[in-house]
Structure 1
């Protein structure tokens, strides 16, 4: 059996490089996970904001009465104005990329924002563009 006195000096400190490599790997993994969670959260916020903008836009309708009964018709200008008001009070720095009314009772809002990494933004200096689409339909009950 080899005792502690018989171990040569060339074996001392051989664990130190392994510890350093594992510490660097742990730090890199922590940074990647933190940025991934931040990106996921930013996309979910953008999705929620697009849904809120579309919901507000679908409230911009007029009730039209004709011989066939009452129906609703979305006013595109009013729908855009209401969607922009939702974005104006939002804590997220986003803008309304597009709002469309594919039919007289449906509003579709496209919201765009840019995500910047929490840490190490040196690797992604311009950020990542995020887009979300929200659709809402207004209807008359009864």
Structure 2
């Protein structure tokens, strides 16, 4: 008869390593998702603030709201600075004079250091918002 006694320690260690790797990767993916959603909100708020920084002029019988790159930048900077220290305003501009386009970025780092994950990377978000007083 063959002796079937042995140690299950290698099997337990193997499953424990798989479980730890799964926890590390899941935590990192969740962190990336939450960080991306956070900067999406900051970009949207900055674009909305930028679109409210219009200059109102009267042309004939109607009022015309016009945006400038400088006004959008100033409004968006205020929102980004109030949000958190790690978010960076990349660009704030208008292509048509009525739409604010704002891009923000943040450097993401994994919450748990691991050989399974990169050291970090840059996440960006772009948002647009039109002025409340559209000239069209």
Note whether the superposition's TM-score is higher than 0.5: yes
Moved segments of 4+, more than 4 Å: none
RMSD (Å), alpha carbons? 1.9
Structure 1 residue runs without a partner (length 5+):
1-5
Residue-pair matches, total: 133
Aligned match of 1:3: none
After TM superposition, the score normalised by the length of structure 2 is 0.89
The alignment partner of 2:95 has SS state of: strand
User: How far apart in 2 are the matches of 1:119 and 1:18?
Assistant: 25
Residue 86 (structure 1) aligned to one of 67, 79, 96: 79
Aligned match of 2:50: 57
Residue 26 (structure 2) aligned to one of 25, 33, 58: 33
The alignment partner of 1:103 has SS state of: coil
Aligned match of 1:12: 6
Measure how far apart 1:91 and its partner are.
2.3
Q: Is the Cα contact below 8 Å between 2:100 and 2:128 reproduced in 1? A: yes
Residue 16 (structure 2) aligned to one of 17, 23, 43: 23
Q: Which has the larger radius of gyration?
A: 1
Structure 2 residue runs without a partner (length 5+):
none
Measure how far apart 1:121 and its partner are.
5.5
